[in-house]
Amino acid sequence: MQIGLDHVIRNHPKLFKGKRLGILAHPASIDKQYRHILEIFKKESGAHIQALFGPEHGFDGYAQDMEGIESSEKSKGDDPKVYSLYGSTYESLKPQKSWLDNIEVLVCDLQDIGSRYYTFIYTLAFCMEVAMQTSTHVVVLDRPNPINGHQVEGNLVSERFRSFVGHFPLANRHGMTIGELAQLFREAFHLKCQLSVIPMKGWHRRRYADEIKTPWVLPSPNMPTVETAVVYPGMCLLEGTELSEGRGTTRPFEIFGAPFIDSEKLVKRLKEFRLPGVRFRPVHFKPGFQKCAGQICGGAQIHVTRRKAFEPLITGVAILKAIYELYPHQFQWRHRAYEFVQDIPAIDLLAGNENLRLDIEKGESLKKIKASWEEEKASFLKLRKPYLIYT
């Protein structure tokens, strides 16, 4: 199995030789020999590297979620200057036209994790949008969807709820690679830049990242393992609440809770849902930072026992529903600004509409909530089909 980075220079040398180049990447942009894309392109591409671009968390990957990073005005040593595509305003998420004016080819090598909330795919989309104006050729080096490219879950994002965690109408768990998404963005969402996708060799849609011989590097500080990515399409919904999603622990998104929760009582309620492919274990934890920092929280840890049966999205909804039912007076939705949006609750941005929040507050069943996604999921499956590269 080869990712795009493993073979791009050998098989496509004319794309880069003698060209003025920009690189959009992060620490997970490595090949199977653990070499970073910057090292590879410096030595082997024959290109003139003009600038580096970092998505959320930064080119070096040290920043926490929603932590703005300033662009560097000067290069460090032999490295070119680094432009941040995640600053302190919504406008900072898009590259300035002047940054791409002198770049002939922008190479994108980002490890996505298969959920529409994960912002790297929209950073790519914004770069494609500006590249249309500057006639910059965007080259996307494809990587696996770490939670497989077969299973799709969820509804789409309604127009009024578009944001940096849902800029396009994608399903919550989209089941696409970043290269396939780039093709979808170009054709279906009219980002008509010059685009080349360098596909993988030997990847199959039903495979998870830890089933193939490619190294896993954290694409962001709270995505330490493939297991984290597996639960993320549902557990990211906790960001729309004041519950801890486990940031500040060694198992973010797999551990969750709050100071007011009785862990045994919560796990008993979750077991009653009979969710497939998952077990819950009572835990107590104390986050080192972010929500509930320094406080002892009761809660649970998710243990995925059968990945093929596991449905992360409805599992995340079940967790919200259980805690809302058990602790209606302590449970709180997040009303603080979220990803540069202040006037829409974070849970609505994540869910793509207000329906999930209202259904949980009304006590609707999981069966009814899941059934409400099916029509939009079917339309997304139809939309994405022409852009799939792999079987």
Assign residue 291 the CATH number of its domain: 3.90.1150.140
- At 282 the three-state DSSP class reads strand
190 with 249, same domain? no
Residue 369 lies in a domain: no
d(CA 370, CA 377): 10
Tell me what the pLDDT averaged over the chain comes to: 97
Query: What count of residues does the chain have?
Result: 391
d(CA 157, CA 275): 25
| pLDDT (0 to 100) of residue 73 | 56
**204 to 76, 147, 215, 228, 241: CA distances (angstroms):** 40, 12, 17, 21, 36
Residue 85 lies in a domain: yes
Residue 33 lies in a domain: yes
Predicted TM-score (pTM) of the model is 0.97
* Closest CA relative to residue 340, chosen from 135, 58, 56, 61: 56
d(CA 118, CA 111): 10
201 with 337, same domain? no
Order across the sheet with 81-84: list the strands. Answer: 81-84, 48-54, 20-25, 105-109, 137-141, 195-198
**178 to 143, 327, 358, 368: CA distances (angstroms):** 7, 39, 32, 31
d(CA 375, CA 385): 16
133 with 93, same domain? yes
Contact indicator for 22, 79 with CB cutoff of 8 Å: no
Residue 372 lies in a domain: no
134 with 120, same domain? yes
217 with 233, same domain? no
Residue 146 lies in a domain: yes
- CB-hemisphere CA count at 13 Å for 250? 0
15 with 142, same domain? yes
**296 to 73, 244, 293, 300, 301: CA distances (angstroms):** 43, 11, 9, 13, 15
- Counted domains in the chain: 2
Q: Which two tokens stand for residue 336?
A: 């603080």
Residue 182 lies in a domain: yes
141 with 188, same domain? yes
- At 168 the three-state DSSP class reads coil
Domain with 151 in it = 4-222+383-387
Distance of CA 12 to the CA centre of its chain: 28
Distance of CA 130 to the CA centre of its chain: 21
Ranges of the chain with pLDDT below 50: none
131 with 75, same domain? yes
**239 to 54, 87, 173, 213: CA distances (angstroms):** 23, 20, 16, 32
Residue with tokens 């409805």: 314
259 with 345, same domain? yes
201 with 261, same domain? no
294 with 176, same domain? no
- At 66 the three-state DSSP class reads coil
Q: Which two tokens stand for residue 359?
A: 């259904």
| Contacts (Cβ under 8 Å, ≥6 apart) of 150 | 175, 205, 206
Q: How far apart are the first and last CA of the chain?
A: 14
188 with 297, same domain? no
At 36, which CATH number? 3.40.50.12170
* Closest CA relative to residue 384, chosen from 103, 154, 67: 154
Residue 375 lies in a domain: no
- At 268 the three-state DSSP class reads helix
| pLDDT (0 to 100) of residue 72 | 79
